[in-house]
Structure 1
Amino acid sequence: MDEEIDQKVVLVTGGTQGIGLGIAHEFLSKNYYVIICARHEPKENIFENYEKSSMFIQCDISSSESRENLIETIKKNIGRIDVLVNNAGVAPPERKDILEASEEDFEYVIKINLQGPYFLTQQLVNFMIELRLKGNIENYHPSIITISSISAFTSSTSRGEYCISKAGLSMMTKLYADRLAEYDFPVYEIQPGIIKTPMTNGVKSKYDKLIREGILPIKRWGDPKDIGKAAVTLAEGLIPYATGQVLNLDGGFHIRRL
């Protein structure tokens, strides 16, 4: 290890923009050391004034080789990981009716949105267990937080690949919560709703209209910092007697109303 990190360390996948960037900034504000990874380097200095408390590692989480490089870089340069935030995700390259969708688009979305997080979590959890067994880190209480979507339970027939990938993340959360309970590693899922991000820029007018018409009890767009604040709350252990918990950050969208 090149340097000793005394701060708690969080890895945020897909952390260069949108929800991931909002999450990263909230953790930085709480004095975490923040590692972000993404397929492409950020186009600008997104962590100005936080250079000593942050690191970017290029990683395509759909690639086994790239994930292994990510883990080895963290082990060598940081030496610990306290929180994994599975946030990286993509929409299908083109919205197509489920009767016309292609296998290529399905595979593309599933590998990034579901297969990548599934195995990245596996790899990082084994590292966390190793750190716990060594006992070298005082008060070491790691956690896993996965960012899914209201699409985990909401049908959108023009992007079935995305919905299936997010539904899969919900089961992934339950599986890891069950398996890791013996280590006292809590596992959580946050389901964001309509959030202002680059991914939703193309459908802004559609959702502006839906929000005006009352699709949400809380009549506003969500902001990435809304998700970030929730992620920090979970990571700080402020909800201690819970695991496998789903936190709905959707302005009340999940409420069935008449």
Structure 2
Amino acid sequence: MTRSVALITGARRGIGRAIGVALAKAGYDIAFTDIVEDGASEEALKLFVAAGATARFFRHDVTAIDSHSGLVANVLFAFGRLDLFVSNAGIGAPVRGDMLEITPESFDVVMSVNLRGAAFLSQEVAKTFIARRPERPTMIFVTSASTELVSIDRAQYCVSKIGLSMWAKALAVRLAPQGIAVFEVRPGVIRTDMTAQVAAKYDARIADGLIPAGRWGEGEDVASCVAALAGGPFAYATGTVINADGGLLIPRL
């Protein structure tokens, strides 16, 4: 197979699906995961194929650490190679509310998906890259503007994302000698199923000037950043953070 292969977690819908389409158009074949296999995963598969990729869906729970090596092995068996890893799978806070009322269960489930699962799967991919030496190995972590902006009604989510940000930075240092580039993309207020429940709130805040660009972000806005970083053209800039946020994170008076 001559096309490079990307493994994208959580690409059944939303930002992950948009990333899959963008990478398929950029010349990647697509291995993608989600915890659920349903009509949405079938639709995503069709979109990736229509965009030019050979694509395959792998039902996978990123919190199941013992399954990570099997997932990577299955991708290698199906495609014969792995060149790009996009860590996108994530969940929001199960319940929004006073951070003084966050339960250990709520905290742990967010950490398990957004930080622990993502970190250990990237560890497995990193070892695979080192062993197999693809030509332009790249890892991209999709985090959030919540790495910097505090939301006290979902503090566990913010903590999980800043933790993943530091993991990405440390991994960039660890893997630089092996020529493996690591990047982080921080979406701002993006129109997805996750933000649908607070759409009215953000409609009002965007109208009031929250985002300099003056609009919601779309999955394609994040996907274009990921596609630009993929494949090695910015490899000497490893550890770089790209804010896909319409200017949200720019400090203003």
TM-score, normalised to structure 2's length?
A: 0.95
Partners of 1:119 and 1:100 lie apart in 2 by 29
Percent identity over paired residues = 37
State the match for 2:27 in structure 1: 31
Alpha-carbon distance, 1:81 to partner: 0.8
**Does 2:231 align with 1:236?**
yes
AA of the residue aligned to 2:46? E
**Does 2:170 align with 1:175?**
yes
Any idea what the Cα deviations from partners look like across 1:98-137, whole Å, max 9, x if unmatched?
10000001110001000011110110111111111xxxx6
Give structure 1 stretches of 5+ with no counterpart. Answer: none
Superposed, 1:1-258 pairs within 5 Å as: 5-43=1-39, 44-48=42-46, 50=49, 53-132=54-133, 140-258=135-253
Any idea what the Cα deviations from partners look like across 1:168-195, whole Å, max 9, x if unmatched?
0110111100000101111000000000
Aligned residues: 248
Instruction: Point out the more displaced range, 246-255 or 61-70.
Output: 61-70
TM-score, normalised to structure 1's length?
A: 0.93
Any idea what the Cα deviations from partners look like across 1:123-166, whole Å, max 9, x if unmatched?
0111111111xxxx6xx110000000010111111111100000
Any idea what the Cα deviations from partners look like across 1:54-111, whole Å, max 9, x if unmatched?
0100100011133232112112222211110000000121112110000001110001
Partners of 1:180 and 1:55 lie apart in 2 by 28
Question: What RMSD over aligned residues (CA atoms) do the two structures have, in Å?
Answer: 1.3
Partners of 1:69 and 1:185 lie apart in 2 by 22
Partners of 2:20 and 2:69 lie apart in 1 by 22
Give structure 2 stretches of 5+ with no counterpart. Answer: none
Structure 1 runs of 4+ aligned residues shifted over 3 Å read: none
Alpha-carbon distance, 1:30 to partner: 1.4
AA of the residue aligned to 2:153? S
Instruction: Point out the more displaced range, 87-96 or 64-73.
Output: 64-73
AA of the residue aligned to 1:28? A
Q: More helix per residue: 1 or 2?
A: 2
